[in-house]
């Protein structure tokens, strides 16, 4: 299917609140409204909060909550959102050098009643270019649900990302995604 899409996004986030020298909290929300050439409309509303602890200069652990509510539909299967109410725990380690960082998480979605896990490995190709690979596995269905490959390039005040997303067990099509973000000064 080929059609047009207009999108508006509003994102709000708190400052980081330091509860101790190593323990911090932050929260945020996002509202996204989409209109399609087919006449369909969709709204996606997200709320999240995270508490994390800096275990060392190179290690951190976090516990977070995320809730997603969806009103309406999209004609694009790659752009679908599913309502969720998810808690997760994660661990990250910064290496420095070529392999910049690695992280892993385990999450439980109360609405879908499913447990999932994922991991990301980020590598530095140059001072302004990063390559990452991420994989996601659903422990409940015992399926690899998604593998993402991404290249991020930062040029002054702009970050450009080219990503290739695969869905090994899904009906969705694999595809390339391109995004441009403005960096805050």
The domain limits of the chain are: 1-93, 95-185
Residue located via tokens 């995270």: 50
pLDDT along the chain (185 residues), means of 10: 87 96 97 93 97 97 98 84 96 94 98 97 93 95 90 86 77 64 63
Residue located via tokens 């929300």: 29
List of E strands, the chain: 5-13, 17-18, 23-36, 41-54, 59-72, 84-94, 99-109, 114-126, 129-138, 143-155, 158-166, 175-182
CB atoms within 10 A of CB 58: 12
In this prediction the pTM is 0.77
């Amino acid at each position: 299917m080929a059609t047009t899409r207009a999108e508006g996004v509003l994102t709000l986030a708190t400052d980081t609140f330091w509860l101790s020298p190593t323990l911090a909290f932050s929260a945020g929300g996002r509202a996204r409204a989409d209109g399609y050439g087919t006449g369909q409309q969709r709204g996606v509303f997200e709320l999240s909060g995270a508490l994390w602890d800096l275990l060392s200069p190179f290690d951190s652990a976090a516990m977070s909550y995320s809730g997603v509510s969806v009103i309406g539909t999209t004609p694009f299967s790659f752009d679908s959102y599913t309502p969720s109410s998810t808690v997760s725990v994660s661990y990250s380690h910064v290496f420095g050098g070529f392999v910049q960082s690695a992280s892993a998480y385990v999450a439980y979605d109360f609405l879908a009643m499913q447990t999932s896990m994922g991991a990301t490995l980020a590598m530095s190709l140059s001072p302004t270019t990063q390559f990452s690979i991420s994989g996601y596995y659903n422990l409940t269905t015992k399926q690899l649900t998604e593998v993402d490959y991404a290249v991020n390039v930062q040029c002054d005040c702009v970050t450009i990302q080219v990503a290739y997303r695969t869905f090994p067990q899904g009906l969705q099509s694999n595809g390339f995604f391109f995004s441009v973000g403005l960096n805050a000064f």
